[in-house]
Amino acid sequence: MLVFGSLWLACPLMYIFITLTYVISSLHLLLALTSIIIGIISQSRSTVWIAHSVSPIWAGIFFASCGGIGIICARQKGLYVILCYVALSIVTLIVDFVNIQLLRLGLVNITTDGEAYL
């Protein structure tokens, strides 16, 4: 009975994990679209090519790949695959922190004519 009870508890918990994976993957795809749009606007407004002006485009591509992989992982319905997706989401979070810092550096340089001391 205990084994049957633990299997019964595992099924609803697995469906919660699958639903959360779909939600987080959709959020990644939305963030990818937003980041790519911000990168295109940032690149079009800059007079010269600077690395921090196109960093949102690269981060958006990374977000889109992570979101696509997340949807594929949710369709696989395996706990190990979903946990690997969570690890990829953590790496994407680190990429996002770097992207935010590069974008902040670019906005400070643009708004102060490059005379900012960081």
pLDDT tens-digit readout, 59-83 = 889 889 999 999 998 888 777 888 8
pLDDT-derived band at 14, boundaries 50, 70, 90: confident
- Indicate the domain borders of the chain: 15-111
**C-alpha dist (Å) from residue 111 to 20, 87, 97, 107:** 39, 36, 21, 6
- Reported confidence tier of residue 92, pLDDT bands at 50, 70, 90: confident
Q: Which residues of 38-50 are buried (b: 16+ CB within 10 A; e: fewer)?
A: bbeebeeeeeeeb
Q: Position 2: which residue type?
A: L
- pLDDT band, residue 10 (cuts 50/70/90): low
pLDDT: which is higher, 101 or 25: 25
Q: Is 19 exposed, middle or buried (0-12, 13-18, 19+ CB in 10 A)?
A: exposed
